[in-house]
Structure 1
Amino acid sequence: MRRRASTLLGSLVAVAVLVAAGAPAPRWEADPGRGTEVFEGIETKPGNVEVIADPKGQHGDVYRLDTSGEPEGSERVRVETRGHLTPDGRPLRFTEGGTYYVGWRSMWGPLPTAEGEWVALWQLKDYGSGAATPPLSIRARGDQLDLEYADPGMKTTRLWQADLPLEQWNSFVVGIGVSSDPARGWVRFWVNGEEQELGGRPGQYPAATLRADFVTDKWGVYRSDGITGPATAYLADARVGTSYEDVAP
């Protein structure tokens, strides 16, 4: 209990120093020193989430999410974090009218994929009444990585696509204007510090990013039934803020 209290105090002091210095202060960050307590939940079906030293030696301690790939009963294979807990233990949830930026570094491998199948590596997931297909998700399909949008009618659109990078760190930032109204909601997306065109247009892409009571996001591996084998996702420098500068890795 004493160790947990000192970790909490250290996190609060660090935030206070950043604010006093005029530096960007994220609303939430995945501090490996707090282990999995930074997340609202962990979903391992089956799998394991732990803090280890970066196998590439680039980013200190990082999170490793791995699964054997053997399904438990009829459920799809999943090893994911869910949501965010602030240092005071409160969940940070994205609600109507809010603006949030989520930034992080990911590395994947091994990561079995297959043509015609998908592996969700990041999801903006809605919860409560009306929850359904995630409004936004980053998925691997074959040798490609894409950002997918699902509108309120469940029609999906691939907003962005690139070659799937394995065994190397890459940084991502997703900007989200949270709204059930596609005229008010929007998405922006950066990869390795460069903003990407979404759906063939620069800047904000109009999108209904909320269909239920709130949305939050998930990192890890969640895949369709046609893919088997062990998979590992690494996560570093994950943050949530209200501007790009708050969270850019």
Structure 2
Amino acid sequence: MIKLSLLLALLSFTSLSAFAEVIWFADPNKSTQVNDFFKRFDDGNYPQDYCKVKGDHKGVEASTAVVFTDEKLGQVWKINKPKNRKRGEFARFEGLKNNYSPKEGDDIYIAWQWKIDTVDKAQIDKEVTVFQWKSASPHNQNYPLNLEYDGELTLNAWGADFVGDKSYSSRRTVLWRKTVPQNEWISLVIRIKVSKAEHGGLVQFWFNGKQQELANLRSETYQVKVSKDNKTVFHRTNDGRFVYPKWGAYNRKSCKFDINAYFHEMKVGTSLVEVMANH
């Protein structure tokens, strides 16, 4: 009986492993071309990307994305978003060589290694958006999830507004917060089950390889549902025509900073084990 149980367990593990895979990987060692892995790079040249008044970005260099040789990790992606630019972001998994489009019901793990600093060594003390789980308009959430940085990194969930009478700030609930120094590599994994149902999706989060406890730490009109062990939150994670990721530096609070954001081991997989390799 013991041998049979072990055999069944092995077969089950082998079966699960066969279906677990990395389905997207932005590897700068294989190509230095942004569009081979991402749909596009948003460099802040859109008319709506002004910092204070429309058109105030004129004469300011656009944001850039290049492959950079990091002394610790080797070839990594580097985004620079200059002062008085509102945005510098990789957008979407749909590249020319490596392509994935999230859809309703998908259950995925998004992983990356990340650090942030400023060209002039200024401390980032305003909440700058560094990751968005974004919805394509017309939408009711705009971004169901995001990460913001101001010396502390926060994971936020955003509730839907089906009527159009609620402010963004009132629909935010902070799920997790931690101090993260500038110019220090960290590892992040977000599990997202994609669902348009109210509290039908799920979110889990790993920081430097350890799963984090999540909670409604700060909220006004919206809260997620939290599992008994505080490791899973239930939230609407699909909105608009489709959802997709954005990584970089964004929002008006970012305008005062000349920001560098660095990315390594950017992956999407169907299991934690697959995306955590080399993290």
User: Please, what TM-score do these two structures have when normalized by structure 1?
Assistant: 0.80
Structure showing greater radius of gyration is 2
Among candidates 77, 80, 83, match of residue 66 of structure 1: 80
For residues 44 and 86 of structure 1, what CA distance do their matches in structure 2 show?
Answer: 17
| Residue 245 of structure 1, CA deviation | 1.4
| Residue 246 of structure 1, CA deviation | 2.0
1:125 aligns with 2:127: no
User: Please, what TM-score do these two structures have when normalized by structure 2?
Assistant: 0.72
| Other-structure match for 1:83 | 92
| Other-structure match for 1:28 | 24
Among candidates 214, 218, 223, match of residue 246 of structure 2: 218
| Other-structure match for 1:113 | 124
Unaligned runs of 5+ in 1: 1-20, 72-76
Q: Amino acid of the residue matched to residue 149 of structure 1?
A: A
Would you say the 8 A contact 1:151–1:208 is kept in 2? yes
1:186 aligns with 2:202: yes
Size of the aligned set, in residue pairs, is: 218
C-alpha distance 95-226 of structure 1, shift in aligned 2 (>3 A) = closer
C-alpha distance 177-24 of structure 1, shift in aligned 2 (>3 A) = closer
For residues 226 and 240 of structure 1, what CA distance do their matches in structure 2 show?
Answer: 27
| Residue 24 of structure 1, CA deviation | 5.5
Q: Amino acid of the residue matched to residue 116 of structure 2?
A: W
| Residue 164 of structure 1, CA deviation | 2.7
| Other-structure match for 1:38 | 37
Q: Amino acid of the residue matched to residue 274 of structure 2?
A: D
1:150 aligns with 2:158: yes
| Residue 136 of structure 1, CA deviation | 0.6
| Other-structure match for 2:147 | 138
Identity of aligned residues (%): 25
Would you say the 8 A contact 1:113–1:227 is kept in 2? no
C-alpha distance 49-223 of structure 1, shift in aligned 2 (>3 A) = same
For residues 18 and 200 of structure 2, what CA distance do their matches in structure 1 show?
Answer: 30
Identify the range of structure 1 (101-110 vs 23-32) with the bigger mean alpha-carbon deviation.
23-32
Would you say the 8 A contact 1:112–1:231 is kept in 2? no
Q: Secondary structure at the residue paired with 1:245?
A: helix
Q: Amino acid of the residue matched to residue 104 of structure 1?
A: W
Aligned-residue CA RMSD in angstroms? 2.2
| Other-structure match for 2:109 | 101
Would you say the 8 A contact 1:126–1:213 is kept in 2? yes
Would you say the 8 A contact 1:41–1:83 is kept in 2? yes
